[in-house]
Structure 1
Amino acid sequence: MSGDETFPATVGQLSVWRDIERFPPDRLWEANLSFVWDLPEGDWTQEQVWAALGAVAMRHASMRTTYVVDPEGFPRQRIAAHTAEEVLAQVRQGTADVAEREEKDAAEIRRAIDALSELPWRAWILLEGDAPRQVLVVVNHMAADGVASVVLREDFETILGGTDLPAAPGPLELALNQTGEGSGRLRNAERYWRRTLAAAPRRHETGELDPVGAVLQTGIPMPQAHEAMAKFEVTLASLILAAYYRGIQAATGEQEVLLFPMSANRFDEQHARVVTSLNQWAPLLLDLDAAEPFTEILPKVHWKAFNALKNGVCSPDAIWQIRDEHAKLDPPADRGFYYNPMLAPPGFPSDDHLVAPKIDFFDHGRTTGPGFYLIVRGLTSLNLMFRVNRSGFDRDSVNTVMTTMQDCFAQTLGGDRF
């Protein structure tokens, strides 16, 4: 494989690209994701850390990939035949003091990465004195998603610890499958989208647009959350989705809700650890009695979500056409409520004690993407971040969603109510 060859993009990569195409030039940074990795205990030198980062890029082709847009407007992968040293020459950004982490992170995520002309990531070592303590990585969403970031972190720690890792399967193999024998799955997803949006509620949006950013720190450590799940026979992601549904019901007074959970599309061993952007939305229409006990709707939400997520691999162009058709109805189809869970598996180093729940509001600064978006970060403890740019929703309604969800968590996972 030479650096001059190009290959089809995966539908996940194409999905991100279609979003990037719609960003205004001054908002291209919104395609960036950022991660801060604590270094394992040890006396690491800067060169050891840089060498491990370079080795990770050699293992995962997406970290060496730029894109070329063909005459029909489709991105194609160009995988650079770089050495680790050549990769680091492009992505190595130097060092900063660990005390400056938040400021550095906030500044660097707003510096766009051009996926057509530069490698899709940048890295900094954060120092305490002269000693490396953390790594800050900013990556274009074309190259990785939230699950892929965990894979990158685990591989980085393994390599830093002295274990070499071979090249891993990448998005090239996945793209070739999707243009061949895997294309039938794409057509099935299109049919599911048409059926679901045809049945979805239709309503005009009313009220003022009042952008809201908020974080709910549930105070629930991840080990306790995983332990509590055992008695419900559903996934933690499904339980949080059910609580989200209950929160929206409480805030809107509507029983029927169109949700868009994020499908990680990592349901088989072949794709579980592929570093690329596999995430795509899947529509889920829920219409369950608001008076029904929360624990009784859990299995219903779980299996409905399971069916929806099977349709998460889809052609973004076909789905955009379907959504556009329903947006032009009078009244239009509801825009829906989005949900993206990023949950560490059991055994991940975590907090070990409950603390009181807390809500903080903030200016999220993003103008693109879903109008009502819940991102769940479950690494050490369970934290929920909301980004809302949707008319008719303000701090009070978002607060209602969060307090209702916390009540659901208290019933099932432990923790305190507000």
Structure 2
Amino acid sequence: MIFELNHAQRRNLYQTPPERVYTITVSLDIPGGLPVRQVRNALAQLADVHEALRSRLIDPGGHPRHEVTAAARCEIAVCLIRRMDEIPDITVTDPVPVDPTEHAARATLYTRHGLVRHVMLTVSHLFADGMSQGVLHRDLSALLRGEPIVGADRRRQVSDYADDRLGDVTRRNTEYWQAVLADAPRACTFSGAVRGAEELLRVSRRTDRRIRGEVGEASRELGVSPFAVWAAALSALVGVYTGQHRQVFRSVSANRFDDADAAAVANLAQPVYILVDGEPGDTLRRRAERVLEASLAAHTHGVFDSVALLEWLNERERRRGAVFRPAFDLNFLVHDDGLLPPVGDDVQRCRVTPGRATADLAVQVQPGPTTHVRVTAGEPVWAGRGPGDIAADLFETLRAFGDDPDRVPDDLPISPLVTAARLITGHRSGVAIDPEAQLALLTSVAGVRAADWTTADGRDGLRVLARVAAEACPDELMRAYTERQPWVSGAVVPDGIVVYDAAKGTMR
């Protein structure tokens, strides 16, 4: 069977080669050990239930489509170990690559004394996601125990989420998002920074045994969901850090609308971009209400074409001087199946692709008896506040929602980023401008010998006017700045340019 890629798969391939699409991993211990043949049979049965594991990408360079085959598309390797501590820790090691044109997944069976003691199943994000990670963990665990998969014959499959079935809904919801985000802030500036081809990310994983109960109490007191409490706390915290309270954040827990959706591996989570119309004087209670209202509307429009939306938002006539990038990401997991407890700090390098609308601050919340929080910070964030300190500030903010929800965020015992004092707000893009970053953008284009800039009031907000020493004409410079701006945090494409040549005494 061959299907058109759906909206979520197109998003995962957007500006990313198929072999570099990231993966999700299910990691299971088998304490007593099982024969290799029995584990292979369990993986085959798992693929029989889930078409996602019998999938591959065809014609990626032309007309990419999704093919479902009769047999599992899973490469299986056997690795002999002497000690259990030789098994990689998936929370700190690089993910196993999967080429979706060849396989949906790769499985490694770690054997000791002739028996499989651990299984690691890695699946391309074209065919599964972090939400279905728990589904695969539960189902594979049952099969390894010799038990049947509950409801196996009722699982929704690839065809249920194919584009030809959801096309009309996708188009209507995409138009909804265009209307919502047309005048939203284009980005949130933590600090000015010039990005290279790769970016260093700092990651901190923290735990808290009390926060789940405290968030639950705040949720009941405020009449909002735990997700809304976390999102409002993060929104308030970003406002304290940067002074920017009107924000767009991205949530990746959308389009699970019923139990059948939640049990389907082929249902890829679709990010939604939630506009929070926050104000500096908001109380914590009011911020939670704003987040709840925006989130309810957003998640009911979760099936949309994010590739088409981002391309529309970044068309030149709509950019208002800056590429679209949300203020933060919030990945709120509803279960912890298949995920190892996160611990400690580390650094990662990632390829920079500004057009994918990746936030500089990302938080993953894994509720449970002990709540696990993973904070990932790009350079514009960690240059001013490390991810471990951000996690501590977030816990402090969450507790304030329960202790005193009628206080304003600026009254919290949390200091703004040092860079916040120098940011210039009010630009028509909604981007707070870092003066040093703005100058760095103006002088980063080849042929520019010197530059300065100022602001002027316009009907729709401040405008940046630049004076540049160069031989190029204003239109050429404007095109160059438009291409360069996504790589500079805290800067915008000038709204007007005057070009002068001191040697010739001319001005254009």
TM-score class, shorter-chain normalisation, is 0.7 to 0.9
Match in the other structure for 2:295: 305
After superposing the two structures, state which structure 1 stretch, 249-258 or 188-197, moved more: 188-197
Contact 2:188 2:244 (8 Å CA) reproduced: no
What secondary structure, in the 3-state scheme, does the structure 2 residue paired with 1:386 have? strand
Matches of 2:184 and 2:115, distance apart in 1 = 55
Match in the other structure for 1:10: 6
Find out whether 1:113 has 2:98 as its counterpart.
Answer: yes
Larger Rg: 2
Contact 1:151 1:275 (8 Å CA) reproduced: yes
Give the drift of 1:37: 2.8
Post-superposition CA distance 1:12-69 (Å, at most 9, x none):
1222122424x8xxxx445222332344x65644443332222111110111101113
Aligned-residue Cα RMSD (Å) equals 3.6
Give the drift of 1:338: 3.8
After superposing the two structures, state which structure 1 stretch, 278-287 or 147-156, moved more: 278-287
Matches of 2:179 and 2:107, distance apart in 1 = 44
Matches of 1:35 and 1:413, distance apart in 2 = 35
After superposing the two structures, state which structure 1 stretch, 213-222 or 326-335, moved more: 326-335
Contact 1:29 1:112 (8 Å CA) reproduced: yes
Contact 1:338 1:374 (8 Å CA) reproduced: yes
Candidates 362, 385, 405, aligned match of 2:346:
362
Unaligned runs of 5+ in 2: 404-412, 415-508
After superposing the two structures, state which structure 1 stretch, 51-60 or 269-278, moved more: 269-278
The two structures have a TM-score, normalised by structure 2, of 0.66
Contact 2:248 2:275 (8 Å CA) reproduced: yes
Match in the other structure for 1:48: 38
Give the drift of 1:411: 3.5
Candidates 115, 121, 127, aligned match of 1:143:
127
Contact 2:174 2:306 (8 Å CA) reproduced: no
Matches of 1:55 and 1:222, distance apart in 2 = 39
Matches of 2:259 and 2:29, distance apart in 1 = 27
Alignment of 1:7-46 (within 5 A): 7-21=3-17, 28-29=19-20, 31-39=22-30, 44-46=34-36
What secondary structure, in the 3-state scheme, does the structure 2 residue paired with 1:385 have? strand
Compared with structure 1, are the counterparts of its residues 412 and 129 closer, same or farther at alpha carbon in structure 2 (3 Å cutoff)?
farther
Contact 2:255 2:269 (8 Å CA) reproduced: yes
What secondary structure, in the 3-state scheme, does the structure 1 residue paired with 2:257 have? coil
Alignment of 1:175-214 (within 5 A): 175=162, 178-180=163-165, 182-202=166-186, 207-209=192-194, 211-214=200-203
Candidates 241, 252, 257, aligned match of 2:231:
241
Match in the other structure for 1:354: none
Match in the other structure for 1:355: none
Contact 2:365 2:373 (8 Å CA) reproduced: yes
Aligned residue type for 2:157: G
Find out whether 1:163 has 2:147 as its counterpart.
Answer: yes
Match in the other structure for 1:374: 362
Compared with structure 1, are the counterparts of its residues 104 and 214 closer, same or farther at alpha carbon in structure 2 (3 Å cutoff)?
closer
Match in the other structure for 2:373: 384
Alignment of 1:47-66 (within 5 A): 47-66=37-56
Compared with structure 1, are the counterparts of its residues 150 and 98 closer, same or farther at alpha carbon in structure 2 (3 Å cutoff)?
same
What secondary structure, in the 3-state scheme, does the structure 2 residue paired with 1:179 have? helix
Aligned residue type for 1:365: R
Post-superposition CA distance 1:384-415 (Å, at most 9, x none):
3233336465252756643331112334579x
Aligned residue type for 1:170: Q
Percentage identity across aligned positions? 18
The two structures have a TM-score, normalised by structure 1, of 0.79
Matches of 1:128 and 1:293, distance apart in 2 = 57
Aligned length, in residue pairs: 389
Give the drift of 1:298: 2.1
Alignment of 1:327-342 (within 5 A): 329-332=319-322, 334-342=324-332
Matches of 1:196 and 1:105, distance apart in 2 = 36
Unaligned runs of 5+ in 1: 352-357
Give the drift of 1:142: 0.6
Compared with structure 1, are the counterparts of its residues 263 and 33 closer, same or farther at alpha carbon in structure 2 (3 Å cutoff)?
same
Give the drift of 1:162: 2.3
Give the drift of 1:155: 0.9
Aligned residue type for 1:207: G
Matches of 2:210 and 2:178, distance apart in 1 = 39
What secondary structure, in the 3-state scheme, does the structure 2 residue paired with 1:299 have? helix
Match in the other structure for 2:477: none
Matches of 1:38 and 1:155, distance apart in 2 = 14
